[in-house]
Structure 1
Amino acid sequence: MYPPGGSSVADGAKVVRLVYKGAKKLKATDQDWEAVKPTNLIESGKYDVVAASHKPRWISWDDTFVDELKTTLKAFSVFAIMPIWYMADGGTTTVLTNMAGSMTTNGLPNDLLSNFNPISTVVAIPIYNWVLYPGLRRRGINFSLIQRISCGYFIGAILNATAAIIQWQIYKTSPCGYQASDCTIGTGVSPLTAWLTIIPFWLQPLGGIMVSVSSYEIAYTMTPPRMKGSVIAIVFFSYAISQAIVEIASPAFKDPYLIWPFVAIGIANLFASFFNWYLFRGIEHRDNTDLHRMDLADDEVSKLEISKA
């Protein structure tokens, strides 16, 4: 239990403003952060206080809060490119469902196939947690959170490449060619079986477990207690951003352009995979003493993804 201490968001805004006001440049140094700690602000002599042990009322944070905020902002930076993943994981679900409607279903409801997404989640999480991750650790391979997220982005590139190829083949085999969605010629559908769309639906959770669950774990383990709520809010805000982008781009999701949304999202995820690893590979440093804790954290945090499925 923590005593009420005001808004961490409001205090964080004050601290960040002071840091960058003192830095006078885009990137703040460790010295800039140290300078805004209350003890250093008071010792600087800039403020008229009775004694060094008394803070002005507007300084509502403590020295520890500055260190916590600095760590939290590092976690925030990981989530900055996460909307790219969320566009791959659910952003094109409607397009994939309509794609199945342009294929041979043999009476199968085309919207049934999207149910393989949660089925894949429930099947894959135990395999990841009890086979894949522990197996890598036993071989001395530390598959870190940042590496998992990068791998998840790469899976996002693969699933969208697969969907683009399937859509291309639909256009090639449909009686109406590149107007396959509303075709009325002959059977009106491509001879390709709609079961092919299971591939991207199944791949979405395989990447989502690595991206989403790892981001939850970063929010849970790498941020201080009073900042966890803010970090979780940023995680879900990044999902909202992805949905806004999809909504804006949705008028383009029509024939004959249905290949290109998959191509664009796939390329974006491929670049995100590289840049996520390149930019954030130093954000976490774990040694062998952390491995048991990671096993426990994986199991606990993955319950969030299972409940979501």
Structure 2
Amino acid sequence: MIWAAILQHYIYKTNPCGYLASSCPADQVSPLNVWIQTGTYVLIALSEILASITGLEYAFTKAPKNMRSLVMSVFLFMTALSSAIGEAFVSLSSDPLLVWNYGVMGVLAGVSGIAFWWSVRDLDRKEDELNSLDEGHLHTTDGKHMDEREKGIL
């Protein structure tokens, strides 16, 4: 989004109509090549692929087997929530507000990324523990299964 904001700034700067680029006559356009937009689409596609695939894999493999559908649904709900936030900014998707639209989305994504990293930064150390979660068992503080304690086995 930052790439798109900077690009849109240069489109406005080089366009004969300035910040009203979409209302310019067809013969008065920015001299910038349309291919410079490719970076925006490549970066968005890569981030979607990396975030979606990683999130789905992590939600599925790290959840206890009897909670996988719940964890997956929470992950997908968060995706829907982020899409709703994006829709809230649709009113900024017109000239001359496009730079603000892309800039605000870029800053929100950056802040969200930092907050997400902060909340999950220690999960690599817990990788083996998360991979060995049992199905439907609650571990107590002494490491025993709660259902074994209830049955009087312990």
TM-score, normalising length from structure 1? 0.39
Q: Deviations over 1:193-216 (max 9, x none)?
A: 111111010111222232111111
What's the CA shift for 1:217? 1.4
Aligned runs of 1:80-99 on 2, under 5 Å?
Answer: none
Aligned runs of 1:57-206 on 2, under 5 Å?
Answer: 160-184=1-25, 187-206=27-46
Q: Which amino acid aligns with 1:175?
A: P
Pair 1:195–1:260, CA change in 2 (3 A): same
Q: 1-side partners of 2:127 and 2:78: how far apart?
A: 26
1:205 aligned counterpart, secondary structure: helix
2:58 corresponds to 1:218: yes
Residue 77 of structure 2 is matched in structure 1 by 237
Aligned runs of 1:14-53 on 2, under 5 Å?
Answer: none
What's the CA shift for 1:167? 0.2
Runs of 5+ in structure 2 lacking a partner? 132-154
RMSD: 1.9
Contact 2:20 2:95 in 1 (8 A): yes
Pair 1:166–1:249, CA change in 2 (3 A): same
Q: 2-side partners of 1:280 and 1:225: how far apart?
A: 21
What's the CA shift for 1:252? 2.0
Pair 1:230–1:188, CA change in 2 (3 A): farther
Residue 269 of structure 1 is matched in structure 2 by 109
1:176 aligned counterpart, secondary structure: coil
Q: 1-side partners of 2:109 and 2:19: how far apart?
A: 26
Pair 1:233–1:188, CA change in 2 (3 A): farther
1:247 aligned counterpart, secondary structure: helix
Q: 2-side partners of 1:240 and 1:175: how far apart?
A: 39
Q: 1-side partners of 2:24 and 2:41: how far apart?
A: 24
Q: Deviations over 1:216-252 (max 9, x none)?
A: 1111111012211122222222222222222222122
- The farther-off stretch of 273-282 and 210-219 is 273-282
* Corresponding residue to 1:260 among 76, 88, 100: 100
1:191 aligned counterpart, secondary structure: coil
What's the CA shift for 1:261? 1.3
May I ask how many residue pairs the two structures share in their alignment? 128
Q: Which amino acid aligns with 2:2?
A: A
What's the CA shift for 1:172? 0.5
Moved over 6 A (4+): none
Contact 2:92 2:100 in 1 (8 A): no
Residue 283 of structure 1 is matched in structure 2 by 123
Runs of 5+ in structure 1 lacking a partner? 1-159, 291-309
Residue 49 of structure 2 is matched in structure 1 by 209
Residue identity (%): 34
